[in-house]
Amino acid sequence: MAASGALGMAAVGTQVANASGSVGADSASPLHHTKPHRDSPTHQAANASVNPRSVRTLNGWTLPYRMDQGVKEFHLVAEEVDHEFAPGMTAKCWGYNGSTPGPTLEAVEGDRVRLLVTNRLPEHTSIHWHGLILPSGMDGVAGLSQPPIQPGETFVYEFTLRQHGTYMYHPHADEMTQLAVGMMGMFIIHPRGQEALPVQRDYCILLHNWAVHPGTYRPDPGVLQDFTMWTFNSKVFPAIDPLVARTGDRVRIRIGNLSMWNHPLHLHGVQFDVTGSEGGRWPQPRWRSEVTELVGVGQTRDIEFIAVPGDWAFHCHMSHHTMNAMAHDLPIPMGVNLNGLDRELQAMLPGFMAMGEHGMGAHQDHVESGHLQGPANTLPMMGGQGPYGNLEMGGMFTTVKVRDDLAPDDFADPGWYSAPAGTVAKRISHDPNFGRPIRAPLG
């Protein structure tokens, strides 16, 4: 197939027509139909073969490509997947090549790429390459720029990458349904040549929301606001991998948002620079220093910082986005003693357990002690254990773990940080009347 000139899309079943009109079954064979485990030697070798500057997708993977006469060829398969949000909760989702989000695509500015898309879903689909500059007919909008990809068909997209930056891909056919059930992925285009300030750790996170009702096993695409799950790369805390770095590393976190909410992402411990978006890595005079960055729906943002030792929280600052399944229609009656009333509610809501008189902090203890049994296939609202007790988090929360003694290619969880003596907050009194605090004046 020629390496220049636009190739018109065609439905070709399980084969792909080349530019001369001949059909080659070999060129239509996907390199991978299912994902290798991200820590397997096969996957690590595949990642290394993609690009020496490969990003690391938390809890995810990068799709290997093959070279065909100077063209980088990727093969995506749209299909139903069994997905685990965290231990104790799985769902029937839709994704690509066995996962949601689909595998991260990586290439270099100036590359010619060919993207085969096979539809193994029960309905038609397409793929939009979100933010990419390309011919209109390759834009992936079913009905406008191409026919829909019907079940069983394979389409081919081919174009030259004319930019660099952090991008996404997702369907543009029955979009509300297909996005809601997990069809999305990241497309990272590296600049050709060395970056002026190279990064040592390059991470990739895709934000999403889900409505998986308690006791059910499929996402509900009809929910518009009251979502039950908020995810980094389709995982919720405490199942989200930490971001691991070595002291002094320049770390980049690429963030894409294909959810239906805006997310203020907050990183503890440093002031980061916002350095890029779909427009690539910005000129350094445009960088701005922040500790929280709002990533809007349909946007990407890159943040960079120099790693300092410690365990640092990284999370959405909408507090209900750092919790798992919540009951949206029941009040939390602070200051109200529900003794007796809870039994009346249990008659209507089996398994109901009153909480909230003194806050929700006891929820994790009740769940982990077995006092509160939730519905089937439903995660507790909060969880996670840290070195000093309950973390009481869920959803869009993880940690950045920075250590002095990591090898450059070591991404393994180093465990909890051992803080130097005298640098941890500690108790100095049990007396609630301790000291002489100044309070607001009366009246």
| Residue 2 confidence class, pLDDT cut points 50, 70, 90 | very low
Q: How many other CB atoms are there within 10 angstroms of residue 61's CB atom?
A: 24
Nearest alpha-carbon partner for 228 in 327, 88, 91: 327
Per residue in 259-292, pLDDT (tens digit) is 999 999 999 999 999 999 988 899 999 999 999 9
CA proximity to 198, closest of 365, 340, 53, 344: 53
Closest CA to 353 of 330, 376, 329: 330
Residue pair 221/180 in contact by the 8 Å Cβ criterion: yes
Is 65 within the bounds of a domain? yes
Q: What Rg, from alpha-carbon coordinates, does the chain have?
A: 24
Split at pLDDT 50, 70, 90, the class of 49 is very low
- Domain assignment present for 177: yes
Range of the domain at 121: 16-197
Edge-to-edge strand ranges of the sheet holding 105-108: 105-108, 185-190, 165-170, 128-130
- Lowest-confidence pick of 45-59, 217-231, 256-270, 413-427: 45-59
Question: Distance between CA atoms of 263 and 273, rounded to whole angstroms?
Answer: 17
Q: What does residue 346 show for φ and ψ, rounded to 5 degrees? A: -65, -25
List the single range of 14-23, 96-105, 281-290, 407-416 with lowest mean pLDDT.
Answer: 14-23
Which residues sit opposite 248 in a β-bridge? Answer: none
Residue 133 near residue 90, CB atoms below 8 Å:
no
Looking at residues 178-203, what average pLDDT do you find? 96
pLDDT of res. 135:
98
In a domain, 26, yes or no: yes
Domain count, the chain: 1
| Residues 97-107: tens digit of each pLDDT | 999 999 999 99
Q: How far apart are CA 26 and CA 223, in angstroms?
A: 42
CA distance 86 to 324: 10
pLDDT at position 9, please? 40
Work out the percent of the chain whose per-residue pLDDT is above 70. Answer: 86
pLDDT at 351: 66
Name which of 240, 160, 252 is nearest 204 in CA terms.
252
For residue 129, the 8-state DSSP code is E
Name the burial class of residue 394, with classes exposed (0-12), middle (13-18) and buried (19+) by CB atoms within 10 angstroms of its CB. Answer: buried
Contact 261, 149 (CB under 8 A): no
Residue 53 pLDDT class (50, 70, 90 cuts): low
Cα separation, 222 vs 219, whole angstroms:
9
Integer CA distances (angstroms), 90 to 216, 234, 336, 361, in order = 9, 11, 35, 26
Quick one: pLDDT band at residue 327, thresholds 50, 70, 90?
low
CB 79 within 8 A of CB 95: yes
Report the mean per-residue pLDDT for the chain: 87
CATH number at residue 137: 2.60.40.420
Amino acid identity, residue 362? Answer: A
Q: Torsion angle of alpha carbons 18, 24, 27, 33, nearest 10°?
A: 130
Tell me whether residue 349 is in a domain. Answer: no
Q: Return the pLDDT at 413.
A: 97
User: Are the C-beta atoms of 65 and 115 separated by less than 8 Å?
Assistant: no
Residue 383 maps to a domain:
no
Note the pLDDT tens digit of each residue in 337-382.
Answer: 877 787 888 788 776 767 777 777 777 777 776 766 778 888 888 8
401 Cβ contact list (under 8 Å, min separation 6): 242, 243, 244, 245, 311, 312, 413, 414, 417
Length of the chain: 443
Whether 255 is in a domain gets the answer no
| pLDDT in the model for residue 42 | 39
Q: Distance between CA atoms of 250 and 305, rounded to whole angstroms?
A: 6
Mode of pairing for the β-strands spanning 71-86 and 66-68: antiparallel
